Amino acid sequence: MLKVLVIGCGNIAGGFDADIKAGAMPRTHAGAYAAQGQFSIQTCVEPDADKRVVFMARWGIPKGYESVEQLSAATVDAGSSSQFDVISVCSPTQLHYEHVVQALRLSPKLIFCEKPICNDLTRAQDLVQRCNDQGVKLAVNHNRRWDPNVRQLRDQLKTGQWGQIRTVMGQYNKGVLNNGSHMIDLLQDLMGPLAVIDCGEPCFDYSTSDPSVPAVLVNEHGVHITLSCGHAGDYSLFEMQFVTQRGVIAMEDGGLTWRTRLAAPSQQFSGYHELSQSQFTAGSYFQTMANAVENIYRAVTDGDALASDGESALRAQLVCQQMLHQSTQPSAR
């Protein structure tokens, strides 16, 4: 059994799975640890006493503290040293820096940090360096790297099943760092390193410091990617369309649905090709948390590589930070 500490007991820590139905795929850290079966959440940290009590009862956690300092003091009093194999950092993003630093003092084997690592690139780089220096693995929850549909598309694009990628369009909202980092990470996973060509006006749709930023990017093969932004106040938006030689593949509803159209001879205009009717398939998005936790288990026990780690997260954040800079500093545009 791997012993786990969860820092921050809100939605992604376990709240989204509070009423999970038997047999449903887990959507949270606690839900996925429980479903995997080889993890035991020993302790949680949550300053909100009511939330802490509910979280402990829901996930059967024996110990809870209001802060990591309180946990550390209790640990010193009890004379025990490192007692956690895995530490989940699920607190608000602005607290990730101090919580990862505190987590490192507890000497776990792996830290599973929510995205983005930090809103500040330099601090995120510092955390990745600290984890490397201390030999602690860092998994970052860019969860689509654990989505089988995404892995399949990556393989298909790589082996040329769709022919050339002509162009890519993406739509997102709720912040370039908060949600855009998911999109940039996913695009870099599928298309390799991206460079920013141009950015549009920032849209402050959920935060004054993290606007959504429209942009044009390019990969190393010269394929252009156009990112447009909706407003987070309307609805959640996270979709992508790959226009390829052999058809169009669209990831919709954040990955809950995939839509494909294949190029075929036109029934209406002889000598032309057109796109077929849309084929909709259910996505494997809900497998991502379970797959992440399985990957984490194998990383700790067998030394497996992590599909999403500090380095891949930093590569995404670097692009996001450039987009943020170009968009909010008109002189940089």
Ligand X SMILES: NC(=O)c1ccc[n+]([C@@H]2O[C@H](COP(=O)([O-])OP(=O)(O)OC[C@H]3O[C@@H](n4cnc5c(N)ncnc54)[C@H](O)[C@@H]3O)[C@@H](O)[C@H]2O)c1
Measured distance CA(209)–CA(215) in Å, rounded: 18
Using CB under 6 A as the binding rule, whether residue 118 contacts ligand X is answered as no
Nearest partner of 36 among 290, 295, 305, judged by Cα: 290
Using CB under 6 A as the binding rule, whether residue 119 contacts ligand X is answered as no
Nearest partner of 260 among 147, 152, 143, judged by Cα: 152
Using CB under 6 A as the binding rule, whether residue 95 contacts ligand X is answered as yes
Using CB under 6 A as the binding rule, whether residue 90 contacts ligand X is answered as yes
Binding region for ligand X (CB under 6 A) out of 12-20, 209-217, 232-240, 314-322: 12-20
Instruction: Name every residue whose Cβ is closer than 8 Å to that of residue 43 and which is 6 or more positions away in sequence.
Output: 5, 6, 61, 62, 63, 64, 65, 71, 84
Rounded to a whole number of angstroms, the minimum distance from the CB of residue 54 to ligand X is 10
In the complex with ligand X, which residue's Cβ is closer, 67 or 129?
67
Binding mask 134-173 for ligand X (x = CB under 6 A): -------x-x------------------------------
Q: Is 273 helix (H, G, I), strand (E, B) or coil?
A: strand
Binding mask 242-281 for ligand X (x = CB under 6 A): ----------------------------------------
Q: How many residues bind ligand X (CB under 6 A)?
A: 23
In angstroms, the first-to-last Cα distance of the chain is 52
Q: Is 202 helix (H, G, I), strand (E, B) or coil?
A: coil
Binding region for ligand X (CB under 6 A) out of 10-18, 119-127, 129-137, 230-238: 10-18
Per-residue 3-state assignment (H helix, E strand, C coil) for 205-264: CCCCCCCECCEEEEECCCCEEEEEECCCCCCCCEEEEEEECCEEEEEEHHHCEEEEEEEE
In the complex with ligand X, which residue's Cβ is closer, 8 or 244?
8
Using CB under 6 A as the binding rule, whether residue 47 contacts ligand X is answered as yes
Measured distance CA(323)–CA(198) in Å, rounded: 8
User: Regarding beta strands 238-244 and 247-252, do their DSSP bridges make them parallel or antiparallel, or are they unpaired?
Assistant: antiparallel
Out of 4, 5, 12, 110, point to the residue binding ligand X (CB under 6 A): 12
Using CB under 6 A as the binding rule, whether residue 296 contacts ligand X is answered as no
Out of 20, 30, 32, 51, point to the residue binding ligand X (CB under 6 A): 51
Using CB under 6 A as the binding rule, whether residue 185 contacts ligand X is answered as no
Out of 4, 5, 46, 109, point to the residue binding ligand X (CB under 6 A): 46
**Cα–Cα distances in angstroms (integers) from residue 74 to residues 54, 68, 99, 239, in the given order:** 21, 10, 17, 46
Using CB under 6 A as the binding rule, whether residue 69 contacts ligand X is answered as no
In the complex with ligand X, which residue's Cβ is closer, 118 or 194?
118
In the complex with ligand X, which residue's Cβ is closer, 244 or 321?
321
Rounded to a whole number of angstroms, the minimum distance from the CB of residue 46 to ligand X is 5
Measured distance CA(101)–CA(98) in Å, rounded: 5
Measured distance CA(174)–CA(181) in Å, rounded: 11
Q: How many CB atoms lie within 10 A of CB 85?
A: 20
Binding region for ligand X (CB under 6 A) out of 44-52, 124-132, 224-232, 322-330: 44-52
Angle between helices 310-328 and 121-134 (to 10 degrees): 170
Q: For binding to ligand X (CB under 6 A), which residues are involved?
A: 7-13, 15, 45-48, 51, 90-93, 95, 114-115, 141, 143, 178
